[in-house]
Structure 1
């Protein structure tokens, strides 16, 4: 029985091997015409295969010559083996060829091919000139705007809107450091700023003062030129005699931009009677303007206070005593009056109160005996309550105001003890 079973196993194994061979040999042989692919037949790669929707059978044929895939083997064999001896310019105009050309092109050859891509400003200007397009550098734009401005002033009828547009364009340009220097180089203070400040139109004056302020902020060259050309006197006259509050405020901003970080100009300001001009505004009705001038002077006092830590700055700031001149104009009493006025006018205007307290803090060592103790004490108590209030989301600001009151009161109390 086992003898016959062994025979059957051997016959089955031979049949299995034969079937496997037949399956391996049963490969579809394509032609240029559509042929049916039998089930189980292997389809070589690179054929066009479809399903006949009418019969449901799979059909295949060779691809057309025009759609045949590129012979990648042949393409790769065309690659240069030694790129030093190969003329890359003769490579085929294909994506692969472009990649190879970039790979094997030397830096010198690339520079030679690209040298015409970079042209000078004059060449670009000439090229665009043929198209009636004229590129301009900022210096040229500033020159053209100044020329248009002068032409506008010389006309019998002043075109205000055009002049304001010129001022706006220049204001945008001169905020940049190099453009600010260029503005000075083109004599624009005399031909533009000072002429506009002599205008009878208030809007032109205000916009010019805005431009002047931006020009002198953080730009030493325009600041020095403004000082040397007499800007301090011009601005003080506007503050003193101009009736429009908007012009006064803009002039004060420009003056502050000129004086900050410029001790020589600060000394000239004091010698020109600037403190006397500003002090008289403590008797005016506009309390907001008073806060602005107090803030400006307070900033200057802080400069002098902290200049002692810098050896280079100290020699400039110690040449004149700004604090002494301020005290001569009785600012201790003036600041008391301003603080009281702020609390009566709007006790919730904490920003203005902070500016006034900051100025009082700057003079605390000299005005301790003249500050109103009860006024500052009550103010401190109010900020204590505000800090503890549940309605206050962020008490940091009120803490700052309370600390200012504390430090001022310390000098007030010590001054009282000394006098006793």
Structure 2
């Protein structure tokens, strides 16, 4: 009887256990995410399917990172599903319990994997990963910064039609300058562009080979002062430190053209530009200096000097004469080794034909230059003192007989000594004033 009761009890427990198993969800159950019925919906509809239905659904295997779910996709039970309010899409990742076991298993697998490799193998693998990463990153960076080669070729082909070289620009400008119907404003604009270009030595020489020198010299004879000024400016810029252009200019009669322009009544701004062109032509060019003297260049300059009341033209004339004197002295003071150079010997021979000192004495420049000392500008006085010192070998007797010159030097010396003392009292020191005093002292010594 007792054994029958025990058997009956066990049978009831077994039936109760089977019923409980069928009443619960399967451990492999899946959750189906249905499409939301309205935009902005924040509720999720889930459906549980058994293992037998799993083959008919697209199952998403969650990880520790959030993944976007598509409508109709299924996820394992226990997964964490949320609605992203920013994008409006549902996302899934492992649930808390799943995530804990996943991390633990991942660490164990990682540890087993790492333990199966030697340290040297791991180093090589990490180095290769780093190199591959750097290469991929560099390639992506380059591709993002640069355009395809074919596109660049097409753009360059279009730009090539618009880009002009300096030679092409000068050719176009000279053609416009040579037209009879070109207005004065257009001529001035063309000359300004040419002046910018001829600062380069090659461009200035190319201008001569194109016949532009004749057009520029023709502009000096224009009846419009603006064209005269701009033409003189272009000519002076092209001649500066360019022996090839200097020779070409003399061959085309530039020296006589400039002398004629200086001898003609001109506004001050035109005379300054013509003087600039003349100084550029004569600098370091003894052949042009010789012809300048022989064609009455000093007489033309002396007339300009007497007419100028402001001192700007006077200062430029005196500076040009000082440069010419200094050039010849520097050539004569070269060492003996310089005379072994045939080119230097030729320059010495050419400078020997330039009798500038004697011409200055004959044309009365020993008396004209001291007049610049009466200026109130320190720069004008300095230029005059330097020229007087350079002219001293030829003008010394004139200096001594010039009673007002000695008085002017004493007055200037006292004035600049006072300026130096005032600066010392104020705690300032200007070596420029000391330099002027030294020039005055040097001239005093020569006059004794």
Q: TM-score, normalised by structure 2?
A: 0.63
Corresponding residue of 1:395: 430
What is the CA–CA distance in structure 2 between the aligned matches of 1:210 and 1:149, rounded to whole Å? 15
What is the CA–CA distance in structure 1 between the aligned matches of 2:307 and 2:138, rounded to whole Å? 83
Corresponding residue of 2:360: 326
Corresponding residue of 1:284: 307
Matches within 5 A, 1:307-386: 307-310=331-334, 311=338, 312=344, 313-340=347-374, 342=375, 346=376, 349-371=377-399, 372-386=405-419
Corresponding residue of 2:166: 138
Give a deviation string over 1:65-104, Cα, whole Å, max 9, x none: xxxxxxxx9xx89x9xxxxxxxxxxx9xx937959xxxxx
Corresponding residue of 2:213: 189
What is the CA–CA distance in structure 2 between the aligned matches of 1:264 and 1:164, rounded to whole Å? 32
What is the CA–CA distance in structure 1 between the aligned matches of 2:183 and 2:208, rounded to whole Å? 25
Task: Check the 8 A contact 2:413/2:437 in 1, yes or no.
Answer: yes
What is the CA–CA distance in structure 2 between the aligned matches of 1:391 and 1:327, rounded to whole Å? 44
Corresponding residue of 1:245: 268
Give a deviation string over 1:124-148, Cα, whole Å, max 9, x none: 99x438x9x3332211111111111
- With over 3 angstroms needed to count, the CA separation of the structure-2 counterparts of 1:393 and 1:213, relative to structure 1, is farther
Which of the pair has more CA radius of gyration?
2
What is the CA–CA distance in structure 2 between the aligned matches of 1:97 and 1:128, rounded to whole Å? 31
Which of 264, 275, 280 is residue 298 of structure 2 equivalent to? 275
Corresponding residue of 1:296: 320
What is the CA–CA distance in structure 2 between the aligned matches of 1:358 and 1:183, rounded to whole Å? 36
For structure 1, the 5+ residue unaligned runs are 1-28, 48-72, 80-90, 100-112, 414-420
Alpha-carbon distance, 1:330 to partner: 2.1
Give a deviation string over 1:218-270, Cα, whole Å, max 9, x none: 12221111111111100011111133222222111100011001111111111
Alpha-carbon distance, 1:38 to partner: 5.5
Corresponding residue of 2:136: 95
- With over 3 angstroms needed to count, the CA separation of the structure-2 counterparts of 1:392 and 1:169, relative to structure 1, is farther
What is the CA–CA distance in structure 1 between the aligned matches of 2:285 and 2:223, rounded to whole Å? 31
Corresponding residue of 2:442: 407
Alpha-carbon distance, 1:338 to partner: 3.0
Give a deviation string over 1:154-189, Cα, whole Å, max 9, x none: 12xx52222221111111111111111110110111
| Larger mean Cα displacement after TM superposition, 323-332 or 263-272 | 323-332
| Larger mean Cα displacement after TM superposition, 371-380 or 170-179 | 371-380
What is the CA–CA distance in structure 2 between the aligned matches of 1:400 and 1:148, rounded to whole Å? 50
- With over 3 angstroms needed to count, the CA separation of the structure-2 counterparts of 1:171 and 1:283, relative to structure 1, is closer
Corresponding residue of 1:37: 96
What is the CA–CA distance in structure 1 between the aligned matches of 2:151 and 2:166, rounded to whole Å? 23
Q: TM-score, normalised by structure 1?
A: 0.67
Matches within 5 A, 1:99-248: 127-128=157-158, 133-151=161-179, 154-155=180-181, 159-190=183-214, 192-248=215-271
Task: Check the 8 A contact 1:128/1:135 in 2, yes or no.
Answer: no
What is the CA–CA distance in structure 1 between the aligned matches of 2:387 and 2:436, rounded to whole Å? 12
Length, aligned pairs only: 316
- With over 3 angstroms needed to count, the CA separation of the structure-2 counterparts of 1:162 and 1:283, relative to structure 1, is closer
What is the CA–CA distance in structure 2 between the aligned matches of 1:285 and 1:241, rounded to whole Å? 14
What is the CA–CA distance in structure 2 between the aligned matches of 1:284 and 1:97, rounded to whole Å? 74
1:261 aligns with 2:284: yes
What is the CA–CA distance in structure 2 between the aligned matches of 1:150 and 1:40, rounded to whole Å? 88
Counterpart secondary structure, 2:398 = coil
Corresponding residue of 1:84: none
What is the CA–CA distance in structure 2 between the aligned matches of 1:207 and 1:373, rounded to whole Å? 42
